[in-house]
Every structure is written in structure tokens, then in C-alpha cells.
Amino acid sequence: MQASVCWSGITPVQSETYEIDGTAGNGSPVTATLSTSLVAPAATAAVPSVSPAAVAMSVTGASPTATASVALSFTGGAPQWTAAVLISGRTTSWLQVAPLTGTGAAQLRLQASSAALVNGVYNATLVIQAMNAIPQYVSVPVVFIVGASSTTSIGAVTNGASFDDAIAPGALATVFGLQLAPSTQEAGSLPLPLAMQGVSVTVNGVPAPLKYVSPLQINFQIPYETGAGTAVLGVNNNGQVASFSFQVAPSGPGIFPGAFIDPTGAVVTSAPPGGILTLFITGDGDASPPIATGAPPPTDTPVASLPAPRLPVTVTVGGVPAETPFPFIGVPTWSVGVTQINFMIPPDAPLGPQPVVVTVGGVASAPATLTVMQ
């Protein structure tokens, strides 16, 4: 988790305490606190930079360790700094960095060891902090591939509904590649499994639930824990490992094809103004109340209490906004990563084939076509 906190009207020195409340995967509450002292800024502040901006290392069975280096430099000063390694996922510490402290420019040496790891893609972040610098810290993503394959490869990661690059936490996503799985299998029940056919997937080191696997395609859910920015996908096909970097945003809605359903339950391509239709999307980001990755809402959840997008959602038909609040918006009890929206076609929507666009948090989906007819 990363955030920016801004203050006004504060006179240093002053202490502040912050609290973050969350929900663990098993539904229990989690609380973390941090106390810090605010001090007056230095008269001049150095600006840190690193090269490279990201590090990728890999090993095979014959070579259990890999090394890399990161050059740290400052313009406008030579402040004292400290370095730390944050390991993603539930793995032991496999990355070492030296030196851990210094003053001014330095060459940091990284060493990764696969001694306690099985084949897979592992993620860490090298964080370098200097008090008298702006920004005070820089982060360097580190990817470590154990058992890199020459056969299993990834060509693209897309939104599971629109197949474009709009991807958000909790979304269904699709991987296209070669030799991703030994055979085809679809998940037969919920919650979704974390492995099928000897295949597993991780995003930033966090296991991702699988909906479908095949030699050329994998459908999976982006864990809700995934933060915005560059993410690293790891696919492990029975010990053959491949990785792929892609972008995650707070929202990236995609409309499922053929998703217009009328009140009778029939799939339709046309409807009159004022008619009520249902469509389904993925990529609307965090939900409220929270929902566990890979799991649907409990079947006994009241309709009014089903998880719904935290970010604002609008639907337009031919550029005309549908009335809000919607008759219904939420995650159905039969779904993982899918949000249902019941909306009314605006009475003043233009007739003929019209684009239907869902916008979540200011991000618009690719349009789906609906014919508005009398």
C-alpha cells in the first residue's frame, strides 16, 4: 500500500499517529498504526534517482543465485540514506542488499537466492529513504524468476471482458501465450481454485484464483490486494515459469459481450426508451463491503447488502446518461469478479444503433452496441 498525506496549518516539531483499518482474507479485522514526527524542511533538499528503475533476475537449477546492482545518485546534495527490502507475498527473505546505509551516491549490490524457493516468479521492492531529500524515498521493483522456461511464454494480459488493456484490482483477466497449461480445464465450483492441471498464477507474488486454463489461454482474477501501477504476472506450468509486466489502474471497466438481458431473462440486442436492461462488467475495482479474492458473496446476502463498486459508476446510451441510482448494481452471489448493473434506457436516448458506455471512477469502457427502437 502506498499513499500521500498532505498537511496544512501544522507547526513543526509535531507528532502524528496514523491508523489503517482493513479486512484479512478470512474476514477478520486488521489494524496497523504508525507514529511519526514532523520536522521543518531543510534549507535545500537533494533529489534522488536510481538506475535502473527496475531489476529483473533469473536462475535455473544449475545456478541458485543471481546478482544485480542499482546506482543511487543525488543532485543538489549528499544526504544520509537507508535501504530496506520489502518482500511481496508469503515467502521467506530471498533478497539481500548491501550496503544498507550510506551518504550520497552509492552502488547497491543485490543478491537473490533460490535456495528455499520452488519454481515461480517472486517480487520484492528495494526502498531507499533519505530524510533531507525530495521525494524522501525511491522504490525499485525487483523480480526474481526461478526456473525460467524456454517454452512457456506470455504474449499479453487483457481485461477478461473487453480484451483490451484496462485492468483493475478484482477484475477477471485473460492471459494469452504458449504452453501455459498441459491441457484444458474450467473451474467447476466457487471459490475459484489457486491451481488447476498443475498450473498456478501469481500477481506481484500473490496467488491469483483460476477460472480457466488451456495451453494458449488462462482466465484468472486479479487479487484485490494488487495496487495501482506496474504489476508482474507469474505463470507456473508444472515447473515451467514465465513472467509478464502489465499495468493496473484503480478502475478499468470492460463490458461482457452479449450482456444485454431484458426482464424476461432473454439476451437482446435492441430495446425501447424507458426499458430496463441488465449488463455485466468486470474491472470496476474495489468493492464495498469488501469481498475476498476468488470468492462470491455468501448466498444468503440480502440484495441491498451485496458488494458494489466503491468508485462512482455511470451508464450512457448514445451519450445520454441513464438515471441513477440504478435499479441495481452489485456483485451477484454466483459470480467472482463480475458486477451486474440494471439500468433504464434514457427516455430521450437517440434511436437506432447506439454505443453503451460504462464509466467507473472517470474511466470509460469500450462501447457495446444497443439498438434503441420504438
| Residue 271: predicted pLDDT | 96
Burial (Cβ within 10 Å: 0-12, 13-18, ≥19) of residue 110: buried
Q: Lowest-pLDDT range, 39-48, 116-125, 350-359?
A: 39-48
β-pair type (153-159, 101-103): unpaired
DSSP for 38-68, written as a single string: E-PPPSS-BEEEEESSSEEEEE-TT--EEEE
| Residue 351: predicted pLDDT | 97
Query: Could you give the residue range(s) of every CATH 2.60.40.3170 domain in the chain?
Result: 47-146
Domain 254-372 adopts which CATH fold? Answer: Immunoglobulin-like (2.60.40)
| Residue 227: predicted pLDDT | 87
Cα separation of 29 and 23, whole Å?
5
Which is more confidently placed, 51 or 38? 51
Q: Any residues with CB less than 8 A from the CB of 88 and at least 6 apart, and which?
A: 122, 123, 124, 125, 204, 205, 206
* Cis peptide leading into residue 321 (ω within 30°): no
Write down the pTM of the prediction: 0.82
Give me the mean pLDDT over the 283-288 stretch: 97
Q: What's the first-to-final CA gap in the chain, in angstroms?
A: 50
| pLDDT beyond 80 at 41 | no
Sign of CA dihedral 325, 327, 329, 330: positive
Question: Could you report the per-residue pLDDT of 73-122, keeping only the tens digit for each?
Answer: 999 999 999 999 988 766 678 999 999 999 999 999 999 999 888 888 99
| pLDDT beyond 70 at 369 | yes
The candidate with the shortest Cα–Cα distance to 279, out of 329, 318, 334, 325, is 329
| Residue 202: predicted pLDDT | 94
Percent of the chain whose pLDDT exceeds 70: 93
Confidence of residue 42 (pLDDT cuts 50, 70, 90): low
| pLDDT beyond 90 at 38 | no
Which is more confidently placed, 117 or 38? 117
Architecture of domain 47-146: Sandwich (2.60)
| Residue 94: predicted pLDDT | 92
DSSP for 77-90, written as a single string: ---EEEEEEEE-SS
| pLDDT beyond 80 at 340 | yes
Per DSSP, what are the bridge partners of residue 313?
Answer: 360
Cα separation of 288 and 109, whole Å?
43
Question: Could you report the per-residue pLDDT of 164-187, keeping only the tens digit for each?
Answer: 999 999 999 999 999 999 999 999
CATH number of 153-248: 2.60.40.10
Query: Could you give the residue range(s) of every CATH 2.60.40.10 domain in the chain?
Result: 153-248, 254-372
Cα separation of 331 and 319, whole Å?
25
Burial (Cβ within 10 Å: 0-12, 13-18, ≥19) of residue 152: buried
